[in-house]
């Protein structure tokens, strides 16, 4: 029986090529994701290994809010800061060879082209260059001395286009300065796109430890002294003063912490990508199922013969599964190679853009095994139903002249599909009616149920829907329109399965486009409702230098420049004690005077005036979740200490993307300047000031800082909305693969049905159907299939996405916008997809010699 199965594949290799390709694409995505993760993992591990080389680290004993909301500031969980003076204390301990305080913080470097040097979202920071530091090595020039000199990491130097000796503006800890590049430093690790500046120690202390506090101190041991011994010696010394709240840990422990944190972050990326890989594989499963269903249908007589010769149903079943396994294994083996190649290309491309990543792409046996297993299992699962059908062929079919294929009834699918769709719709309605109780979860479940339900229902609605879609072709292109309609409706199950693959992708594309349009509209309306400022200052680095803020505030036409500053603190209830200080949370610092001046914030309870007295404002949603009301006391803990504050106002403002707003005074007290980031500055003009002049003055004032742009409210809204577009592009690209696989599915079904209909095609050619007409028929079939999948998919996707603004209004999605234009283009795209998919099958059909087609068995 195995021989029959393998011969079957060899004889009909072409029929399985596209199935193999579908598996290959899906598995390539999976394998690529795994190797990408492994590569990033090894890149960041290299960074950890080469940048955290200390034997022992001194750090804060208590957890605190994260060091910086913009990502700068190294690895490990954020903790309270410790006095830099501990460096000297540690150096004095026996067995300590060297102790170096961790001095780093945000910095912006202006490149030779006058633009800030930055690689996407990668951090840009400066750190102290201590000649004794073993992790960095000066490779050219000399070490910087004084505040007017810097050195650059080799990659940063190359990316900036600067040369040694050149002078350029740089913003270090919010201060703009002209600095000379005097040295080039080998960082000893791949930078992964980070921009790194080096300062002399005194300048770094001035910039990043003005209060004498640092995050950590790196300690190197004398030869022969083990890290644990050193920890045992340092621990009593650093904990001598309880108020210092410091502790000593081994380098290994810190590195393990750092790695664990990286793995968690990469795990999210991996999960995100795997979701899309899963969609692609699911879509690929449709192609395999269709291929095997059609192959089984054509070979029913062969199976009947095998059964008549004594093969058991199990043997027939197994023979199909063997074929599926071959398809799966072959496809996934190619997929693993393709995935590996994909990541290699990605690495080269990212390298071109200055993102140096680890030199090797680890191809772990477990990745290979898992990818092969996934591809094979998908293939086997997809072939199971057709195989069952083959196995149940009665032997008597072999004796019949003409095997009549009995189409099974669609009743089961209609029933289960309706039930699932109804359940899903109910869940979505429930989510919309009561968004506050698990709305998101219910919507997610409902959406999944509706999608699967509609997939099940697709063959039931196919005949009617295709009839409507085909009407235009039937009317304009007789007789081929009618022939094409007949072909797509003759086997609704097959057409629906083919279209189903496209349906999934298009539902997601449709939902994404609605979500994006709604998010953009929401952003615009939130800006319009909230901002009463004349201008908004914004920076792509998400941190406006303090000097820029000062320069703007000093302009005569500026009545007020209100900075929205982001920081991070731990929020808990006073006296929580054993419960710990609570989770780290992003908080906003704001001048209480900004309310009503540059910002219009909706208040639901309490009074915003109380912020002037040091009380805080909490967002309605967060307050409801945590049970805060007016008068609730909260304990805020940061790197510099703790403070108890009272909730004085409850606000409802999607514009402020943090659960808590602190008055500026409280914020400055809790968050040191080096760990705060001025996210936005709202500028109000003096009454009667000329806006055009003010704009010019503002632009001139922030120009030296390079990274700050001056926007009016409309531009500000557009820029925020533009960010949604960037996300959308990535989403479309990831969904693109599933659409490509779906197109392969249409090609596959058409090509197989052309083979299946060879006789019929020959007959029509014999009675005078021209080649072009035949090709046109195949093309219309293809377009109809693509349109059916797209229309149903988009309708489902848009309908589900329409529920989102109601469910997620509390996270800033306030208005529903349906991008009719985009949806129109998606339909046009579906038509193009249909035409493209038909090219090869149509040519194949048109090339069939009439005589052979008529006489084929």
Partner 1 sequence: MDPTPVAPAVIAHARGLVKTYGTGETTVRALDGIDVDFARGRLTAIMGPSGSGKSTLMHCMAGLDRATAGSVVVDGDEIGRMSERQLTRLRRTRLGFVFQAYNLVPTLTAAENITLPLDIARRPVDRAHFDAVVAAVGLGDRLSHRPSELSGGQQQRVACARALVSRPAVVFADEPTGNLDSHSSGEVLGFLRRSVDDLGQSVVMVTHDPNAASIAHRVVFLGDGRLVGELLDPTAGTILDALRELS
Where does this chain bind partner 1 (CB under 8 A)? 401-402, 404, 478-479, 482-483, 485-487, 489-490, 759-760, 763-771, 773, 850-851, 854
> In whole angstroms, how close is the CB of 12 to partner 1 at the nearest point?
21
> What's 697-737 look like in SS3?
HHHHHHHHHCCCEEECHHHHHHHHHHHHHHHHHHHHHHHHH
Closest to partner 1 by CB, 321 vs 754, is 754
Helix/strand/coil for 848: coil
> In whole angstroms, how close is the CB of 298 to partner 1 at the nearest point?
14
* CA pair distance 148, 176, nearest whole angstrom: 11
Closest to partner 1 by CB, 775 vs 807, is 775
| Structural element, H or E, at residue 436 | none
Torsion of CA 776, 777, 781, 783, to 10 degrees: 20
> In whole angstroms, how close is the CB of 427 to partner 1 at the nearest point?
39
**Residue among 116, 215, 121, 129 nearest 156 (CA):** 116
> In whole angstroms, how close is the CB of 852 to partner 1 at the nearest point?
9
Torsion sign over Cα 654, 660, 664, 668:
negative
> In whole angstroms, how close is the CB of 308 to partner 1 at the nearest point?
22
Closest to partner 1 by CB, 322 vs 484, is 484
Residues in the chain: 857
Instruction: Say if residue 264 is exposed, middle or buried (CB neighbours under 10 Å; 0-12, 13-18, 19+).
Output: exposed
Tokens (6 digits) for 685: 């003009």
Closest to partner 1 by CB, 483 vs 508, is 483
Closest to partner 1 by CB, 482 vs 643, is 482
Tokens (6 digits) for 443: 């919507």
Closest to partner 1 by CB, 8 vs 776, is 776
Helix/strand/coil for 179: strand
* CA pair distance 551, 623, nearest whole angstrom: 37
Closest to partner 1 by CB, 90 vs 842, is 842
- Given the structure tokens 């199965």, which residue do they identify? 5
Angle formed by the axes of helices 713-756 and 13-51, nearest 10°: 150
Whether residue 805 contacts residue 817, with contact meaning beta carbons closer than 8 Å, is answered with no
Closest to partner 1 by CB, 135 vs 489, is 489
Closest to partner 1 by CB, 404 vs 578, is 404
Instruction: Report the half-sphere exposure of 368 (CA within 13 A, side-chain side).
Output: 9
> In whole angstroms, how close is the CB of 756 to partner 1 at the nearest point?
11
Closest to partner 1 by CB, 481 vs 581, is 481
> In whole angstroms, how close is the CB of 500 to partner 1 at the nearest point?
21
Tokens (6 digits) for 652: 């409802």
Tokens (6 digits) for 643: 């403070």
**Per-residue buried b or exposed e for 623-652, using 16+ beta carbons within 10 Å of the residue's own CB:** beebebebebebbbbbbbebbebebbbbbe
* CA pair distance 27, 284, nearest whole angstrom: 10
* CA pair distance 245, 639, nearest whole angstrom: 11
- Residues whose CB is less than 8 angstroms from the CB of residue 755 and which lie 6 or more positions away in sequence, other chains included: 15, 298
> In whole angstroms, how close is the CB of 286 to partner 1 at the nearest point?
23
> In whole angstroms, how close is the CB of 466 to partner 1 at the nearest point?
12
> In whole angstroms, how close is the CB of 471 to partner 1 at the nearest point?
16
> In whole angstroms, how close is the CB of 465 to partner 1 at the nearest point?
17
Torsion sign over Cα 846, 849, 850, 856:
negative
> How crowded is residue 676: how many other Cβ atoms within 10 Å of its Cβ?
25
Closest to partner 1 by CB, 7 vs 759, is 759
Closest to partner 1 by CB, 555 vs 774, is 774
Closest to partner 1 by CB, 400 vs 691, is 400
> In whole angstroms, how close is the CB of 311 to partner 1 at the nearest point?
28
Task: Give the rounded distance of the alpha carbon of 834 from its chain centre.
Answer: 29
Closest to partner 1 by CB, 452 vs 763, is 763
> In whole angstroms, how close is the CB of 730 to partner 1 at the nearest point?
43
> In whole angstroms, how close is the CB of 299 to partner 1 at the nearest point?
17
> In whole angstroms, how close is the CB of 26 to partner 1 at the nearest point?
33
> In whole angstroms, how close is the CB of 402 to partner 1 at the nearest point?
8
Helix/strand/coil for 370: helix
Angle formed by the axes of helices 439-476 and 771-802, nearest 10°: 150
> In whole angstroms, how close is the CB of 810 to partner 1 at the nearest point?
53
Closest to partner 1 by CB, 660 vs 780, is 780
> In whole angstroms, how close is the CB of 851 to partner 1 at the nearest point?
4
**Residue among 120, 106, 107, 110 nearest 193 (CA):** 120
Tokens (6 digits) for 108: 């912006």
| Structural element, H or E, at residue 522 | helix 492-530
Tell me which long-range contacts 383-387 makes (C-beta under 8 A, separation of at least 24): 383/288, 383/289, 383/292, 383/320, 383/321, 383/323, 383/324, 383/327, 384/321, 385/289, 385/293, 386/289, 386/292, 386/293, 386/295, 386/296, 386/320, 387/292, 387/296, 387/316, 387/317, 387/320, 387/321, 387/324
Closest to partner 1 by CB, 173 vs 764, is 764
Closest to partner 1 by CB, 691 vs 759, is 759
- Given the structure tokens 């505030």, which residue do they identify? 553
| DSSP per-residue codes, 578-612 | GG-S--EEEEEEE-GGGBTTTB---EEEE-GGGGG
Residues 26, 30, 35: CA angle, nearest 5 degrees: 140
Closest to partner 1 by CB, 240 vs 405, is 405
- Given the structure tokens 């409309």, which residue do they identify? 714
């Amino acid at each position: 029986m195995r021989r029959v199965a393998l011969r079957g594949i060899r004889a009909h290799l072409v029929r399985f090529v596209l199935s193999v390709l579908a598996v290959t694409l899906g598995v390539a995505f999976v394998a690529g994701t795994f190797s990408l993760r492994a590569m990033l993992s090894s890149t960041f591990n290299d960074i950890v290994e080469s940048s955290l080389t200390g034997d022992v680290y001194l750090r804060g004993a208590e957890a605190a809010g994260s060091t910086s909301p913009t990502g700068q500031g190294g690895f490990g969980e954020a903790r309270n800061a410790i006095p830099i003076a501990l460096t000297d204390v540690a150096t004095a301990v026996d067995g300590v060879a060297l102790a170096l305080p961790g001095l780093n913080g945000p910095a912006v470097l202006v490149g030779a082209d006058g633009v800030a040097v930055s690689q996407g979202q990668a951090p840009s920071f400066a750190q102290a260059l201590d000649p004794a530091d073993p992790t960095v090595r000066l490779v050219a020039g000399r070490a910087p001395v004084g505040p007017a000199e810097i050195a650059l990491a080799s990659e940063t130097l190359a990316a900036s286009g600067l040369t040694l000796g050149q002078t350029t503006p740089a913003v270090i800890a919010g201060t703009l300065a002209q600095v000379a590049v005097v040295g080039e430093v080998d960082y000893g690790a791949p930078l992964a796109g980070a921009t790194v500046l080096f300062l002399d120690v005194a300048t770094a202390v001035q910039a990043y430890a003005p209060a004498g506090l640092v995050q950590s101190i790196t300690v190197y041991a004398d030869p022969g002294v083990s890290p644990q011994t050193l920890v045992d010696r340092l621990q009593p010394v650093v904990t001598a003063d309880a108020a210092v709240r410091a502790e000593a840990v081994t380098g290994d422990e810190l590195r393990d912490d750092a790695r664990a944190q990286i793995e968690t972050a990469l795990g999210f990326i991996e999960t995100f990508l795997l979701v899309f890989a899963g969609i692609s594989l699911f879509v690929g499963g449709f192609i395999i199922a269709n291929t095997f269903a059609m192959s089984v249908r054509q070979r029913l007589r062969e199976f009947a013969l095998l059964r008549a010769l004594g093969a058991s149903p199990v043997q027939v079943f197994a023979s199909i599964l063997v074929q599926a396994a071959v398809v799966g294994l072959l496809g996934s083996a190619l997929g693993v190679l393709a995935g590996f190649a994909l990541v290699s290309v990605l690495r080269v491309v990212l390298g071109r853009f200055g993102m140096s990543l680890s030199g090797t792409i680890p191809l772990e046996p477990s990745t290979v095994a898992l990818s092969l297993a996934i591809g094979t299992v998908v293939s086997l699962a997809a072939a199971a139903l057709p195989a069952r059908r083959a196995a149940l062929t009665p032997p008597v079919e072999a004796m019949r002249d003409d095997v009549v294929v009995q189409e099974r009834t669609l009743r089961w699918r209609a029933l289960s599909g309706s039930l699932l769709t109804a359940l899903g719709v109910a869940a979505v309605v429930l989510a919309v009616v009561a968004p506050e109780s698990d709305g998101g979860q219910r919507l997610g479940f409902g959406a999944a149920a509706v999608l699967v339900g509609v997939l099940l229902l697709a063959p039931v609605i196919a005949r009617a829907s295709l009839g409507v879609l085909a009407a235009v072709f039937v009317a304009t292109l007789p007789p081929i329109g009618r022939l094409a309609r007949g072909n797509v409706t003759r086997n609704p199950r097959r057409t629906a399965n083919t279209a189903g693959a496209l349906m999934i992708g298009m539902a997601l594309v449709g939902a994404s486009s609605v979500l994006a349009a709604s998010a953009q509209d929401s952003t615009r309306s939130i800006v319009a409702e909230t901002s009463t400022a004349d201008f908004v200052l914004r920076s792509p680095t998400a941190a406006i230098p303090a000097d820029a803020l000062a320069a703007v505030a000093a302009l005569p036409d500026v009545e007020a420049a209100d900075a929205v500053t982001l920081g991070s603190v731990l929020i808990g209830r006073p006296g929580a004690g054993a419960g710990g200080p609570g989770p780290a949370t992003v908080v906003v610092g704001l001048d209480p005077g900004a309310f009503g001046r540059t910002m219009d914030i909706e208040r639901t309870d309490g009074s915003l005036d109380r912020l002037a007295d040091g009380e805080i404002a909490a967002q309605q949603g967060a307050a409801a979740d945590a049970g805060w009301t007016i008068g609730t006391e909260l304990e805020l803990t940061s790197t510099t200490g703790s403070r108890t504050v009272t909730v004085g106002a409850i606000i409802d403002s999607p514009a402020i993307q943090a659960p808590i707003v602190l008055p500026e005074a409280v914020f400055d007290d809790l968050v040191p300047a080096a760990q705060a980031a001025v996210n936005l500055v709202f500028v109000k003009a003096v009454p009667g000031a000329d806006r055009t002049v003010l704009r010019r003055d503002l632009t001139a004032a922030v120009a030296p800082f390079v990274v700050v742009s001056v926007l009016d409210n409309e531009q500000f809204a557009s820029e925020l909305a533009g960010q949604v577009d960037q996300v959308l592009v990535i989403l479309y690209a990831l969904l693109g693969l599933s659409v490509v696989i779906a197109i392969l599915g249409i090609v596959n079904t058409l090509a197989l049905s052309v083979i299946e209909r060879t006789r019929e095609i020959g007959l029509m050619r014999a009675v005078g159907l021209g080649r072009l007409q035949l090709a046109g028929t195949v093309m219309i079939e293809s377009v109809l299939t693509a349109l059916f999948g797209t229309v149903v998919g988009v309708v489902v996707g848009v309908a589900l996405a329409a529920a989102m603004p109601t469910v997620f209004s509390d996270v800033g999605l306030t208005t529903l916008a349906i991008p009719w234009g985009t949806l129109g283009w998606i339909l046009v795209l579906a038509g193009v997809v249909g035409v493209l998919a038909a090219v090869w099958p149509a040519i194949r059909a048109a090339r069939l010699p009439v005589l052979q087609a008529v006489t084929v068995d």
